[in-house]
Amino acid sequence: MAKQLLFTLTLLTTLGVFSYTLYRLISWFRFTKPWPVKEFGKRFNMMMGVAIGQSKILRRPVIGTIHALVFWGFIVITLGSIEMVVEGLTGLERPMAVTGWFYNFVTASGDIMAYVILFSILVFLVRRLFMHIQRFYGVEMQKKSKWDALIALAIIFFLMKSLIGLNISYLVMHPLDAKGCFPISKLYLPLVSFIITPSTAPVFHEVYWWMHILLIFLFANILPYSKHFHVFTSVPNVFLSRLEPLGYLPNMESVTREVKLMMNPETAFAAAPADAPPPSRFGVKDVEDVTWKNYFDSLACTECGRCTSVCPANITGKKLSPRKIFIDLRARMKEKGPGLVKNGKDYNDGKSFLRDYISAEELWACTTCNACAQECPVNINHPSLIVEMRRFLVMEEAAAPAGLNMMFTNIENNGAPWQFSPQDRMKWAEGLEVAG
C-alpha cells in the first residue's frame, strides 16, 4: 500500500509538471497564423510510411536501420511501461498477463529490443564522441546541443539497463511460473547467478523497477526542453505534412484576390468582399507571422542535420543552413512567447526573427531546390518558410538583391524581365527571315 501511495504521488507530480510544460508551449501557438488540415486519409498513409515505417531514415541502410530499430523498440517497450503504471497504481503483479499469447509476444519483443537498443545506444555514443560526423556540427549547434544529445543517450542507456535487470531479477524470482517470455534475459541468467540470487532477487527487482519508472518520468519531463521533444512530435508532424508537390509555392490569398480583380475589368474598381480578411503583413518577419504548423515543425526538428548536409548552398560555403532556420524559430518563440502571453499580440521586444536570428544573406542563398524537404525524416518543409521571409523583404521593405530589383523594374516598365522595350524585342530576328 505504501508503494502504491508513493507511486501515485510520483505519477501525479510527473503529470503536473508535464502538463504545465505543455500548457506553456500550447499558449504560444495561439499567436501564430492558421494552417488548414484536410485529406486525412492521405495523411494517415504518409504517417504510416514515413513516421512508423521510417522510410526516409532507411535510405541510409546501416545507421538508418539501427535508428529504426530503436524507434520500433520503443513502441514495443512503451506497452510494458503502461503495464508498470497500472502495476504501480493497483499493486497487481504483471496485470497484462491475462492477454495470454499477446503478452508473451509483447514481453519477448520488449526483452529482445532492450538489448538491441542498448547496443544501438553504444553505437550512437561512439559516433557522437569519437567520429567527426559533419552534419553534427554547424554554427547553430551550440555546446548545449551536444550535451543534450549525450544526456538523452545516457538516460536511454540506463533505461534499457534497468529493464534488462528487471527482467532478469523477475526470472530469478519466478524460475517456474514466470508470466511472459524473456528469451534473451534467460540466456544471461547463468552469467549473473552469483549476483542476483533467489534471496537478493526481490531487492534487485524493486530497485530496477523504481529506477526504470523514475527514468521514464524524468525523461518525459526533460524532452520538451530539448531537441528530443521529437519523440512526441515527429509522428504527428508527419501526419500534418504539406501534401502539395515539393516545388509548389503557395500564393498569398490577399494578393491573389487583388490580381483577379485587376484581371477582370468588371470588378477592377469594385469594393472588397464583406467577408474578405483584413490586410495582413506580407510574408514573415517575426514568430507571430508564421503558421502554427511552422512552429510545430520547429518543435519536431530532430536537429539531425540531414537537411543541411544536402543543401547545395551550404555545401558550397554559403551561410544558409536549413536546420538553423527552425532551431532559430524555436529559440525566438521561446524568447518572445512569454511576452506575447503576458502583454498580448502587440507586444514588441525590439527584436525580430528576421535579421536578429536569420539574415537576408542566408535567405537569398536558398535555391528552393527542396533537397532539404526531400531529405527531412519528419517532413519539415524549409523552403516554404524561407520564401515567406523573402516575401517580407521584397513586399514590405523592397529589400531584394540588386539583380531582382532590376528585374522588377524591367517588368514594371517593359512588361518583361529584360531591359528592352516591347517594340525592340524582335530586332534580333531582323534579316533572319523569322516571322515577327
CATH classification at residue 168: 1.20.950
131 and 257 in a single domain? The answer is: no
In a domain, 431, yes or no: no
Q: Let me know whether 52 and 74 are in one domain.
A: yes
**Domain C-terminal end among 181, 213, 239:** 239
Contact 39, 243 (CB under 8 A): yes
- Among 257-261, 283-287, 342-346, the least confident range: 257-261
How many structural domains comprise the chain? 2
Would you say 299 and 25 are in contact if contact means Cβ atoms under 8 Å apart?
yes
| 195: containing domain | 2-239
Q: Which of 207, 239, 271 is the last residue of a domain?
A: 239
Nearest alpha-carbon partner for 75 in 99, 54, 46, 90: 54
CA-to-CA distance for 149 and 125, rounded, in angstroms? 9
42 vs 418 pLDDT, higher one: 42
- Written as one letter, the residue type at 370 is N
Same domain as 208, residue 318: no
**Domain contains 421:** no
CATH of the domain at 318: 1.10.1060.10
- The identity of residue 26, as a single letter, is I
pLDDT at 425: 76
| pLDDT at 372 > cutoff 80 | yes
Q: What is the pLDDT of residues 214-234, one digit of tens each?
A: 999 999 999 998 888 998 999
Higher pLDDT, 424 or 51: 51
Asked if residue 201 and residue 78 are part of one domain, the reply reads: yes
Residue 430 lies in a domain: no
Lowest mean pLDDT among 89-98, 123-132, 267-276, 323-332: 267-276
End-to-end CA distance of the chain: 95
Bigger pLDDT: 260 or 151?
Answer: 151
> Which of 238, 250, 252 has the alpha carbon at shortest distance from 373?
238
Taking residue 173's Cβ as centre, other Cβ atoms within 10 Å add up to: 15
Residue 220 CA to residue 110 CA, distance in Å, equals: 19
Residues 231 and 292 occupy one common structural domain: no
Residue 29 lies in a domain: yes
* Domain presence at residue 435: no
In a domain, 412, yes or no: no
Same domain, 189 and 334: no
Specify the pLDDT at position 110: 93
User: How far apart (Å, rounded) are the C-alpha atoms in residues 293 and 37?
Assistant: 10
pLDDT of residue 194: 84
Contact (Cβ atoms closer than 8 angstroms) between residue 304 and residue 124: no
Query: Is there a single domain that holds both residue 229 and residue 375?
Result: no
218 plus 280 within the same structural domain: no
Phi, psi of 56 (to 5 degrees): -75, -40
The answer to whether position 319 is within a domain reads: yes
368 occurs within a structural domain: yes
Among 217, 239, 261, give the residue marking a domain's end. 239
Residues 66 and 191 reside in one and the same domain: yes
138 Rama sector, left if φ>0, alpha if ψ -120 to 50, beta otherwise: left
Together in a domain, 228 and 274: no
Phi-psi region of 131 (alpha: psi -120 to 50; beta: other; left: phi over 0): beta
On whether both 98 and 199 belong to a single domain, the answer is yes
Does residue 396 share a domain with residue 367? yes
